[in-house]
């Protein structure tokens, strides 16, 4: 899937809502923020996914891609939303 998020500020609940609709339900959604690693995610974003039992894991894009590959290799229900590196 492609998305139009270009920076941290573009990542809103509405842009990630598709991930909360997937079946089987995700265990973890990795958020790769380019080279930037946010300390705090917006409360509405955390709440939206917590209600569905999905863990949000913000990290750099490189770490998110690597972690995705490991968890996917273990057969876990995982997805990644990645911002490009600059």
pLDDT in tens, 12-71: 888 888 888 888 999 999 999 888 776 778 888 888 899 999 999 999 999 999 999 999
Q: Report the C-alpha gap between 57 and 19 in whole angstroms.
A: 13
Q: Report the C-alpha gap between 74 and 43 in whole angstroms.
A: 30
Residue 48 confidence (pLDDT):
87
Question: Model pTM greater than 0.75?
Answer: yes
Residue 51 confidence (pLDDT):
92
């Amino acid at each position: 899937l492609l998305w139009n998020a270009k920076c941290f500020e573009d990542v809103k609940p509405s842009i990630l809502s598709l991930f909360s609709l997937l079946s089987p339900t995700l265990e973890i959604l990795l958020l790769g923020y380019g080279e930037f690693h946010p300390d705090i995610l917006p409360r509405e974003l955390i709440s939206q996914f917590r209600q569905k039992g999905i863990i949000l894991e913000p990290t750099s894009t490189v770490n998110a891609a690597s972690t995705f590959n490991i968890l996917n290799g273990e057969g876990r229900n995982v997805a990644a939303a990645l911002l490009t590196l600059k």
